[in-house]
Structure 1
Amino acid sequence: MTTVQFNDVIDVNPKETIKKGALSKKLPMDGVETFTKYIKAYEITKFTGGVKFRNGDTLMARITPSLENGKTAYVDTLHQGEVAVGSTEFLVFRPKKDIILNEYIYYLATTPEFRDLAIKSMTGTSGRQRVQTDLLLGYEFNLPSLDTQRKIITLLDGMDSKIKLNKGINDNLAA
């Protein structure tokens, strides 16, 4: 296991391009379910701005109360090579190096330690507080080997799949 700094292995809000006025998928904040990794729905709109992301990226809300409510998602629903846009109130995380797996970043971003750091870093007026990205960049964590990351992802993905299945059953029962 190696101790690394967030900024050394993860890009925050990496550059992507969508032509102004082009139709694209847009992810509003309410398109992310609370405390699950899944994206509920996109809207199709003309691109006017926002954070851009692609499959394999992790999105984390940077504004109150969305961050506290667990708005963090793993993007895996786009077409190959497709770039989508989200609310400017999301932070986008992507691996810089091939020593950290995309999905591992999602699970890192949902750990209590990382979430607490993000929440405690918030500044601004009471109703519009936002995460100070600079504090996240300096976050140090123990990074396991790629093999161990894969094992962790397999275990946690299995749990996430069961949660999604149970939620679907509960939603059907409520309908």
Structure 2
Amino acid sequence: LEEQRQSIITEAVTKGLNPNVKMKDSGVEWIGEIPEHWEVKRLKNVLDLNPNKNEVNALKGLRVTFLPMENILGPNEVDISITKNIEDVYSGYTYFKNNDLVMAKVTPCFENGNIAVMQNLENSIGFGTTELHVLRAKPKQNITFYFYLAQSAPFKQEGVSSMYGVGGLKRIPSEFIFNYKFAMPSVSEQNEIVEFLNEKCTELESIKKLINGQIDKLKEYRQALIYEAVTGKIDVRDMELDLAR
């Protein structure tokens, strides 16, 4: 199901939703063919990276959301329950606000899809771990489209290959995000793709939860069966004879 989700996202954000649309060569190796009416852009053309926290410099005595890395639970899954005074987090932490896209830049969090569009922040403002990149959509762009783009196979593969550092300290450089080439549909088509992917991903997540619930119940049953067998609550002598035969 995870592989299916990845495949659906990649197909939608790189090829669109119309299987009969006329295609053209993008000129970018990792993109391949794209719909003829899409444009090849760099992310710096459509997103601002790591916006300056000076825009909230004048705010005092305000409670804001605080986001450590462990509170980004998965794609668009965040725990925003922690709040702090803005004076306590202004220095030394990464700033973002509602509708910003936050992305883990350190391995393995990047590969695990620790990325989310921020919503419902305390006073619309948040600060978090320094291991985040913050992406803010420019006018006439749908930030959720870029949330899905950042989960596509080409973006992840190119991101991993651009990481610097060693071992568990490898990070995605800002230059990779600035200069990443992608195929850009119009904002109306971005909206259609987002609506489609929201629906598909919700369906897959529901199936995953159902299956995970069944797995948990089977594990509980297995554990109970083992306990009853080793404590003598189940007579296993006949079973042993069957096995011997």
1:28 to 53, 64, 68: 68
In 2, Cα distance between equivalents of 1:42 and 1:3: 39
Distance of 2:161 and 2:150 partners within structure 1: 14
Deviations 1:108-145 (A, max 9, x none): 11111111122111111222111111122111111001
Shift of 1:164: 4.7
Q: In the aligned structure 2, how far is the partner of 1:164 from the partner of 1:32?
A: 17
Residue identity in the other structure for 1:2 = E
Counting aligned pairs with the same residue, the percent is 26
5+ residue gaps, structure 1: none
TM-score for the superposition, normalised by structure 1: 0.84
Q: Secondary structure at the match of 2:127?
A: strand
Q: Tell me what 2:82 maps to.
A: 43
Q: Which ranges of 4 or more aligned residues in structure 1 deviate by more than 6 Å?
A: 170-173
**Aligned counterpart in structure 2 of residue 78 of structure 1, from 121, 142, 145:** 121
Once residues 83 and 111 of structure 1 are traced to their aligned partners in structure 2, the CA distance between those partners, rounded to angstroms, is 28
Whole-angstrom CA distance in 2 between matches of 1:167 and 1:30: 22
Deviations 1:8-62 (A, max 9, x none): 111111123265775321111111123x222134312243231111221111100
Equivalent position of 2:11 in the other structure: none
Counterpart-to-counterpart distance in 1, 2:64 and 2:211: 32
Q: Name the Cα RMSD after superposition.
A: 2.4
SS at match of 1:150: helix
Q: Is the 8 A contact 2:93 2:130 kept in 1?
A: yes
Q: Secondary structure at the match of 2:167?
A: coil
Which protein shows a greater Rg?
A: 2
Aligned pairs, number: 172
1:66 correspondence with 2:103:
no
Asked if the contact 2:64/2:121 (under 8 Å) is kept, the reply is: no
Match of 1:53 in 2: 96
Aligned pair 1:3/2:40, yes or no? Answer: yes
Is the CA contact 1:37–1:160 (under 8 Å) kept in the aligned structure 2?
Answer: no
